[in-house]
Chains A and B, each alone.
Chain A
């Protein structure tokens, strides 16, 4: 009996059976990691789906989670700069920059709006490496998944085939769903959109939509009366009917613009978990596409 207990104890604590403990910066990365890692991973996100990823405040409890992690998956491109101080404070050598357990999900992404020339705060809270909202193009989800898959294989090479298969299944699922999502979006007449923050350019590219302007005059800068007036005129001139607002941004300016034009405000989650129905990376786009097409 004692032997059986001993064997069970050893098996339970064997690295071959232990799940890879992963901390992600966002719920989107959590979801994709779960698609690729499935039963081999235990994943937790440091942020909620309805929180602005620019503004996450690092907290000691997050340090504690990173201390126990085998792998960290971050958004990169300066969106989750708050992760730097957390990783440093956790003193976990497995997840330091460049180590086996460090995954920057942005590697290999075709960047949009990478600023050229001199960059300073007169341009607002600009991201020096390019627009970081890349996960909102489902095609980029495949690149994120590839980065995560490579990280998982580094940590558990004996499960390479398993992770490769899950990754392929995920890519196939995205390809399949892309056809479905495009078949809903393509027939829509309204392809011109105004967004609150410049967070929907990757999405717009994926679905042949056109971001005409942002309610923020510059990234992170709240709109003033002049800019609202400019947008009202622009909407009338360009015949824009849709204003997209991430569900954590203020809606007052968008509503004011909508009231003075024929446009309609659509409040959307930009991350998994931002709405109940958007429970994973696939259903996030199901929800977004459904909301846009319903308007």
Chain B
């Protein structure tokens, strides 16, 4: 009897143990809630290593392989339907490493009546590419027109944006407006000796631009309207217009008011699960009012990309852009890009680029290795 009882208890314990070993799904937490058991946000780190070659004798950055950028992200929910994304970066700028808050924003996913919003330091949603982080771009370098009109990095501002998904239309259509404060570029002064009218030399203070780039700054107001149409099975046409009004980054010296308008058109076709064609075009017009008059500049790029399977992408890009300065220059560039994807956040890429600047030819090449560790997500882009 004791043996039977013992065997019964033993079998019961074995059954209980077997039940404990079963793993039953309780559902899946959202992105930003992966570490739910210890209430951790999604934490990730991304690195971007760039090897750069150029036949431009004046280019001091050429023929180097270096870590171009490291990005860390902390992403999670702070309240129902409200999430926070903090993205910190250390990146190479003119040969030196600088740390910055890349983005730090609170997103209000549902403000009611189809409205949503973001607040904090944010990559401004202007056109198709400005909002994207370096590692997320389908190309190594940013298109010329963005560099000429917005500077070497993404145009990012501190402020807020309000978005409205239009409910009555039979297709996707969203409008948004934002106001931003963007830091002006720094200047320092140095003493310089100049020739006076009487032939003697005198010492004067002269302003030195720490940054020769042009970009909008100060109080900036933006607007974007983008729509999307399903034009067939697995075919999508996206159209957008953007506008920006503000001042120049060197306003104190140049007294320039700035307006940028843009239009973009993207066609995507997914012939099969891994194959994908993308034809993306973006045009921008810069109007810069300076005391001596008004500068009007244009630029655009066309990007054709073919993803042949899960791992390989092949792209071609044509760039044209005028500069933002009083003495106009014209630049055209043609790039060929090959990407091999390793995982969702890691890839290597080769880019060859031929530039023509006012008739002068330059050939450049890049090797890029971008890698990611940990769960990393961006909003729909």
Contact = CB atoms under 8 A, between A and B. Distances in A.
Interface of A: 48, 50-52, 55, 57-61, 63-64, 67, 76-78, 81, 84-86, 88-91, 93, 96-98, 104, 106-111, 114, 120-121, 125, 128-130, 134, 220, 222, 248, 250
Contacts, number: 124
B302 interface: no
B25 A108 contact: yes
Contacts of A248: 272-274
Given A60-B228, A61-B172, A91 B114 contact: yes
Give the dominant DSSP class at A's interface: loop
Nearest to A68: B167
Contacts of B234: 48
Contacts of B23: 110-111, 114, 130
B21 to A, nearest CB: 11
Nearest to B230: A61
Nearest to B26: A107
A81 B31 contact: yes
Given A60-B380, A61-B229, A64-B228, A109 B116 contact: no
29 contacts: A51-B272, A52-B273, A55-B273, A55-B274, A57-B270, A60-B172, A60-B227, A60-B236, A60-B238, A61-B236, A63-B172, A64-B228, A67-B114, A77-B25, A77-B28, A81-B31, A81-B377, A89-B165, A89-B379, A93-B81, A93-B110, A104-B27, A104-B28, A106-B27, A108-B24, A108-B25, A110-B22, A125-B344, A248-B273
Contact of A128 (B30, B34, B270, B378): B34
B76 to A, nearest CB: 12
A138 to B, nearest CB: 17
Q: Which 7 pairs across A and B sit closest by C-beta, in order of nearness?
A: A60-B228, A76-B28, A64-B172, A104-B27, A60-B172, A51-B273, A61-B230
A192 to B, nearest CB: 25
Contacts of B24: 108-111
Contacts of B311: 222
B380 A121 contact: no
B380 A85 contact: yes
A98 B110 CA distance: 14
Contacts of A57: 268, 270, 276
Interface in B103-142: 107, 109-110, 114-116
A97 B32 CA distance: 12
Give the dominant DSSP class at B's interface: loop
Given A76-B25, A109-B24, A121-B343, A63 B167 contact: no
Contacts of B8: none
Contacts of A93: 81, 110
A78 B29 CA distance: 9
A292 B158 CA distance: 60
B33 to A, nearest CB: 8
B187 interface: no
B171 interface: yes
A106 B81 contact: no
Nearest to A96: B81
Given A61-B228, A91-B114, A220-B343, A129 B274 contact: no
Given A61-B228, A128-B34, A121 B346 contact: yes
A91 to B, nearest CB: 5
Contacts of B107: 88
A110 to B, nearest CB: 6
B356 interface: no
B197 to A, nearest CB: 64
